[in-house]
Chains A and B, each alone.
Chain A
Amino acid sequence: MKTFQIKSWYFYPLIGLALFMSLILVLYKGLAYFGIQEKLDYTDKTIFVEWIRVAVHPKQYFKIFYNLSIFLLPLGASGIGYVIYKKHTSKN
């Protein structure tokens, strides 16, 4: 049986990126399932004048995840990538 070989360092963070992104997506869907999305996306439309209410479509939940991902995703991905890298290189 052939062993899996990673030749370039940049594969590790990219694998980490895929794994951490999956984790974020699971968290995103999971929290939405428990009603967090509904809670965060709520905006009292009655404060607006009548004609503008149709143009109010809150998506706070999505934006919070997106903005947090900008910081957390590269860090988390690199962290996971580094763990795989360490394990892999110590084996070899």
Chain B
Amino acid sequence: MSSIKNTLQKIKKYHKFTAIILIFIVVFDFGYLLETGIWVNYYHHNFMIGTINDLLQGKHLLIDTFNQYGLFYPFILFLVFRTVLQFSYMNLYLAFMIGTVMYFAILYFFILLITKKNLLSLVGLLVSMGVVMTFNFPTFPFSENYVWPGSIPLRYFFDALVFLLVLKNRNFASRKLHFLTSGVVAFAVFYNLETGISLSIAYMFLLFTYVITKPLPLIKKVRYCLELSLPFLISAISIALFFSIYTYAQTSLMPDWALFWRFPLLYGAGLSNANTPVVGWHLYHLTVYFSVVTLYIFRTLFLKQSINWKWRVLTAYAFYGLFLLNYYMSRSYNSNLTLVSIPVIVLTIAFAGEKFTNAKKEVTFTRLISIVIIVSLTIGSIYFTMGRLKRRVYGLETYKTTKKYPGNRGFIMVSYSEQEDFTANDLLKSVAEIKKLTPHQKKILLFSRFDVLILVMSEKTHIISYPMHEQIYTLSELESMKKYLLHLPEKPEYIFIDTKNPLSTPPTSYNNAKELFETVKPYYSFYKKVGILDVYRLKQ
């Protein structure tokens, strides 16, 4: 008993070190060494790496490339690959992992500032990581969450930082801190539109409710509200302006901002939406968020009573949680719910750790429920993390005995769900041939289900302004790309087509590539077959 007490004392004393250890145990894996799934995993990476590859090959965001995850999310990764990391699928996995470690480190300090209890903060960190990183996906033998760029905390990287800064800046007393926070919120909008807008609305909610509950005349309230909102508005306009000037300086074209909100609009129209079940864990989220926001409004606006700064910020955090939950409400898959669960976990931890003076029975009871939920989630987090650790050991053991293919950007080893007649050697041969036949061209005409993988490996990009064929979603876009290819002033000498369709039941995303190929095929004749690709040459 005394040894447990001693250990807990040590954990409390060295809580930052313990947090680092915890983060690495739960979040760190060897997928960047082992990632093999050309056929499965890469598919999800393609939606991010396709854009980064485009940028590395000289294309520009909102000009001739775009990304469904936002603007600065891919742009920051592009800068990382330009300066620090060598560009490859495996290093994208590594970058996602490093970013996730950073996110949870910031989150830890946020929870610590809320609870001011080292041990409880460590529990909050463990549960947050556990729910987001281990409760969701059935992992592949060699890789974990980092395979899904949209399903890791990098999607909403700035939320913990913003609320940490706001919490530190009691009553917006520090102008410097307020400007900094407003700048980060504005940046977050351009980083990822959906989560950035959620964050900015919550931030505005905090500013607005703070001002409106101040005992000031209406005119002064309006002026104060404008004064507080101005840094955010100026930052947002400056960022948009700066990005436009940068793009214009690079390309002599203004960015097409319609590409920035193209995906939120497409998803709004119903793309990949799923029905929300009547009963589910999301009801807990809704109960907590709506209760916190309603109690806050009732107390501050109607009863005109004061509330401490911490719960003001936490209410804004709950408000943010409601908007973040939109991701699940639109596409109600379990993995999407776990991803957006951090606010509800933090709020539960905050409530469980709150000191109530003269607490009434019902408060004590609600607190008890919070504690039971946290304990259950802690047990779940430990259980699923243990499962992950076993898989990681298995993955490392397999890595030792499997044939490796070093020195390419696509993969290190191939052993999982490999398609018949589509071996690593065939792929490497095809890539070598592309490089040989188009030594001076960055943009090529390639039609393949694996277009992004082949482009990344051969250090090329598409001639068309799409990171991947699959992202041509509408018939009008497809028609306009066909016209574009037909009227190319200089048709490329070679085109490359992968005639094997691994998703054999049509219609599939491969149809786009096939239709584009059929459009230009009359101008070309079969030249040779290399690896997985048929090469066609321009008719004389």
Contacts and interface: CB of A to CB of B under 8 A. Distances in A.
Interface of A: 7-10, 12-14, 16-17, 21, 41, 43, 46-52, 55-60, 62-63, 66-67, 70, 73-75, 77-79, 81-82, 85
21 contacts: A8-B362, A9-B303, A10-B295, A12-B298, A13-B295, A13-B297, A16-B294, A21-B290, A49-B512, A51-B509, A52-B509, A56-B270, A57-B270, A59-B270, A62-B276, A63-B268, A66-B329, A70-B323, A73-B290, A74-B290, A74-B293
B330 A70 contact: no
A82 B269 contact: no
A48 B326 contact: no
B299 interface: yes
Nearest to B201: A70
A56 B301 CA distance: 42
B302 A81 contact: yes
A59 B330 contact: yes
Given A70-B319, A75-B297, 15 more contacts: A9-B303, A10-B299, A14-B295, A17-B290, A17-B294, A43-B269, A49-B472, A49-B478, A57-B272, A58-B269, A60-B270, A67-B326, A74-B290, A77-B294, A78-B298
Nearest to B321: A70
Smallest CB-CB A-B distances: 10 pairs: A58-B270, A13-B298, A51-B507, A78-B298, A74-B294, A74-B293, A57-B273, A82-B302, A50-B507, A78-B297
Interface string B431-467: 0000000000000000000000000000000000000
Nearest to A78: B298
Contacts of B474: 47-49
Contacts of A41: 270
Contacts of B316: none
A74 B273 contact: no
Contacts of A73: 290, 294
A14 B363 CA distance: 13
Q: Which of A7, A10, A58, A67 has the most CB of B within 10 A?
A: A10
A13 to B, nearest CB: 4
B294 A52 contact: no
B268 A51 contact: no
Interface string B50-91: 000000000000000000000000000000000000000000
Contacts of B507: 50-51
Contacts of A48: 473-475
A14 B294 contact: yes
Given A7-B360, A74-B290, A50 B270 contact: no
Contacts of B508: 51
Interface in B284-305: 290-291, 293-299, 301-303
A9 B299 contact: yes
B298 A16 contact: yes
A55 B323 CA distance: 23
Interface string B250-281: 00000000000000000011111111100000
A48 B326 CA distance: 24
B510 to A, nearest CB: 8
Contacts of B295: 10, 13-14
A70 B63 CA distance: 35
B428 to A, nearest CB: 29
B426 to A, nearest CB: 25
